[in-house]
Structure 1
Amino acid sequence: MAATTAPGEFTLGFLPLVDACLPILALEHGFAEAEGLSLRLVRDMSWATVLDRLLYGHSDAAHLVAPLAIATALGRGRPAQPLSVPFVLGLNGNAVTMRPDLARAVNPAGGLGDPTAVGAALKAHIAATGEPLRLGVVHRYSSHNYMVRYWLAACGIRPDRDVEITTVAPPFCADALEFGEVDAICVGEPWNSVAVERGAGEIVLATAQIWRRGVEKVLAFREPVMEERRGDAEALIRALRKAGEHFVDPAHLDANAAILAQSEYLDGNAALIRRAISDRLLLSQGGEVLHYPDFMFQHREAANFPWVSQAEWLYSQMVRWDGMEFDAGDARKAARVFRPDVYRSALLGTNDPLPGASSKVEGSLLKPTSVSMQQGVITLENNSFFDGIAFDPILLETYIAGQRHQ
C-alpha cells in the first residue's frame, strides 16, 4: 500500500543504525509534531529495501546512504529516478573492524591506527599470504564502499584484486565477521561495537580518519514528492535540526540512548549506543574505551547542510570505481541531487546558520576557518583527507583522471 499523501503525514524509512537518530528523536521528543507533522517511521533491514519502499511510494522520505541517492538519479543498476537530498543526517560515524588476528597484525600498537601505517601493514600482509582479503561494506553505493576504496588505493592496495569487497546489510555485519564470511567490515554503529563485544572483531580505524568530515547518511525524497510537499519537507528539516540540537547536548545522552535502543528502533544495547553517540569506542574486547572526538558529527558547523561539493566527490568515486567515463551531464545530475536551496528555504529567518556558498573545496581545511555566511556565524574545522589531497569541484574531471593513475 502506498504511503499517504495527506498534508502533514510523513512515512520515513530507516535502518537500525545510530545515525538514524534525528528522525527518531524528532518523533519521540515532539519536534515533528511541533512543526505540524505526523511522522511514522518504518524500519527495514537493508538499504535495498529502504530504497524500494521509497521508489514505490510506500514511504515519503528515507534515511539513506548518500551515494545511493546519486546512483538512483543516474540510473545505476535500475531505471533512473530523480531523488533529492535537502538535508544531511550526519557525517562520518563508521569504522573499519577486522577479525582480531588481522587487526593485531596490521595495527600491533592497538588503539585507532594511523591510516597510512595500517594500509602499509595490510599491503604487506596481503603480499605475504598471497590471498585476497574479504571486506564487507553495507552497499555497493555507500560511503563505506567509497571511503575504504579511497583509503586502500592510496595505500597501494588494489580493490577488487587484493581485496574482495562484498555487500553485507548492516544488521548482519557482526555476524558475517563472527562466522568468518569476511575478514573485515566497514559499517556504522552499533554494529562495530556488537562485533567487539562478541570478540569477533577489533576496531582499527574510524572513517573520520580517512575523510574528517565525510558525508554519510542523508534525508532522501523522490524529487516530485518533495516538490509537491515542499512545505511539509521544509517543516521536517526544521524538526530534524531541533532534534540535532537536542542530540548533541550531553545532558540528554542517557535518555536518547534509551530511546534509540527501543525494539522498534535499533533494538539494541543502550550502553553500546550511548558510547557511540558520545564519541566513545571500545576497540577490543576487554580493552579501554577510547574517546575519539567527532566520531559522529550531527549538528555543529552546519553538519546537516547538503554541500553540492559532497555530491560531486561521491560522483568522482562512482566514476572511478564503476569503470564509468566522466560525463559532464551526469556530473550535473549528480550535483543537483543535493538541494541546499531547500535547506536554506526551510531555515531562513531562524537562528540556524546558513553558509553563503553551496559548494566548497573538500579536504582543504587543517585548522578552524570562518566562512562567509548568508545567516549567522560558522567556523569550519579540520575536514582533511588522510592523504592530504583536497577535492576542488571546479577541477572535477582533472581530479578523477589523477586518481585513476594511482
Structure 2
Amino acid sequence: MLTRREVVKGFAAGVGATLMGPYISKGAGKMRIGFIPLTDCGSVVMAKELGLYKKYGVDVEVTKEASWPNVRDKLLNGELTAAHTLFSLPLSVYTGVGGPKGKVIPIVMVINFNGQAITLANKFKGKVGFRDIKNVKQAVQEIIAKEGECTFAMTFPGGTHDIWLRYWLGACGINPNKDVRVIPNPPPQMVANMKVGRMDGFCVGEPWNAVAVREGVGFSHLATQDVWKHHPEKVLAFNNEFFEKNREEVKAITKAVLEAARWCDDMKNRKELAKVLSQAKYVNAPADALEARLLGIYDLGVGKHTYKDDYMLYYKNGEVPFPKKSYGIFFLAQFRRWEMVKEQINYKAVVDTIIKQDFYVSVAKEMNIPIPKDDMKPLTGFIDGVVFDPNDPEGSIKKYAVREV
C-alpha cells in the first residue's frame, strides 16, 4: 500500500494521474484559483488550459476577479483557495497597509519577473520621453501650476504597482506623499479612466499599457524592468487555512503552475499564450497587444523599443519562482520609506511568516528545479543606482533620503 507521500512523489516521477487524481481530489473537492486579467496570470491560466491541474490530481476552477481588494477578501475568507496576486499584497495586508493587520496570506512561489509599465497621459508628450526621468519633475510641476494637482494611479495600496510608481517618483525627485496625488484603480479600468481624465499617469501590468498606446490615450514612459531589472512581480498565494490543512493539494497546485511557467517561458509558445489570454474569459484584450510585449517588442507611443533579456519572465531556469525573503524585506522597507508603516518592523519575523520558502524548496526538489543560492545578497539594478541590503533594511532606507524632495 503506497503512502500519500509516495503517491505524490510517484506521480511527479510519471506514475500517472489515474493513480493520484482521485486520491488528492477526494480530500478538498473543487478548488478555486483567482486571477486578475493581466498578462502575468499566464501560468495560472495555462495550467488549466494545458490540463496540468488535472495531471497533478486536483480539480481546479480558475476565476476572473474584479480587483486586488476583491482577491484579498476572497483569499482571507476562503472563497478562493489560491490566487495570482501582487508579491507585496500579503505583506501589505499583514502590516495593515492594505488590509486587516496580522492576517496571513502565505506566498508559495513567484509567478513572474518584469513586464509592468508606467504610462503617462499625452499631455506629457514633448516634455518627457522614454526613460527620461530628469524632466519628469518639471513636467509635473507645470501640470500642477495649470490644473491644481497631478494624479497618478496604481492598483492596490502597498502593492507592487504602488511601490514601482513611488520608487520612480522618488528617483525623479518627487515625493508621492506630498507633491502629487496617488489613487488606487483596478487594472482593467486604467485606460478608460485615463480617457476621461481621472489620472495623469498610471502604473499597471500588461496588456493595459499596450492598450493605452493602441487607443491613443497615453504613452509608455518606461517599463518596470527599467525601474528594477528582473524585479519580482506576482506570486501564487493561498488561503492560510487551506495551506495549513491541505499541504498535498497545495503541492499539486504549485507543481501545475511551475510546469505551466516553464511552458510560458518558452518563446516559441508566446504567440499561443497571447491568443489564449486574449479571450474574453481571461484578459479580454487584443492578442497582438499581448503578444508584442510578451516578445519584448514595445510600441511606446513615442517610438519603439525591444527588451532583449528583461521582458516578462515566468521561469528563467528556476530563478523566477523561488520566493526570496530578501524581496519581502525590500517591499517592507519601502512601506517604511514612504511612511505607510510608521512603527519599526521585525523584518525577519514578517517574511518568515508570509514567505513559505521551505515549502517551495521541497516542491522544487521533487521536480528537479534548480534552487537559487543567492537569497539575502544585496539587491541591485535599480533606476536610482541604490544598492539595497536586505540584511540592513533600515540603513538602506537612509540611502534614499537625498533623492526625495
TM-score (norm 1): 0.87
Residue of structure 2 equivalent to 1:270: 287
Structure 1 residue 154 corresponds to structure 2 residue 171? yes
Structure 1 residue 78 corresponds to structure 2 residue 92? no
Structure 1 residue 127 corresponds to structure 2 residue 124? no
Structure 1 residue 193 corresponds to structure 2 residue 210? yes
1:320: how far off?
A: 1.7
Q: Percent identity?
A: 28
Moved over 6 A (4+): none
Structure 1 residue 49 corresponds to structure 2 residue 70? yes
Aligned mate of 2:122, from 100, 105, 117 = 100
Distance 1:128 1:9 in 2: 54
Q: Which runs of 5+ in 2 are unaligned?
A: 1-24
Aligned mate of 1:166, from 177, 183, 186 = 183
CA contact (8 A) 2:47 2:256 kept: yes
Residue of structure 2 equivalent to 1:110: none
Partner amino acid for 2:232? V
1:141: how far off?
A: 1.9
Which is worse superposed, 307-316 or 296-305?
A: 296-305
1:404: how far off?
A: 4.3
CA contact (8 A) 1:340 1:358 kept: no
Go from structure 1 to structure 2 and tell me whether the alpha carbon gap of 1:274 and 1:106 turns closer, same or farther (over 3 Å shift).
same
| 1:166-315 → structure 2 map (5 Å cutoff) | 166-284=183-301, 289-293=304-308, 294-301=310-317, 302-315=319-332
Distance 2:202 2:105 in 1: 28
Aligned mate of 2:362, from 320, 345, 348 = 345
1:358: how far off?
A: 4.0
Aligned length: 373
Distance 2:364 2:137 in 1: 47
Q: Residues 180-213 of structure 1: CA distance to partner in whole angstroms, max 9, x if unpaired?
A: 1111111111111111111101111001001102
- Say what the alpha-carbon RMSD is for the aligned residues: 2.0
Q: Residues 105-130 of structure 1: CA distance to partner in whole angstroms, max 9, x if unpaired?
A: 111xxxxx23xxx2220112233453
1:289: how far off?
A: 4.9
CA contact (8 A) 1:248 1:299 kept: yes
Partner amino acid for 1:290? H
Q: Which runs of 5+ in 1 are unaligned?
A: 108-112, 364-383
CA contact (8 A) 2:93 2:100 kept: yes
Richer in strand (by share): 1
CA contact (8 A) 1:8 1:36 kept: no
CA contact (8 A) 1:98 1:185 kept: yes
Distance 2:224 2:377 in 1: 20
Partner amino acid for 1:121? N
Distance 1:74 1:323 in 2: 9
Distance 2:248 2:329 in 1: 27
CA contact (8 A) 1:18 1:273 kept: yes
Which is worse superposed, 142-151 or 319-328?
A: 319-328
1:288: how far off?
A: 5.8
Go from structure 1 to structure 2 and tell me whether the alpha carbon gap of 1:190 and 1:327 turns closer, same or farther (over 3 Å shift).
same
Which is worse superposed, 289-298 or 53-62?
A: 289-298
Distance 1:176 1:277 in 2: 24
Partner amino acid for 1:88? V
Partner amino acid for 2:391? I
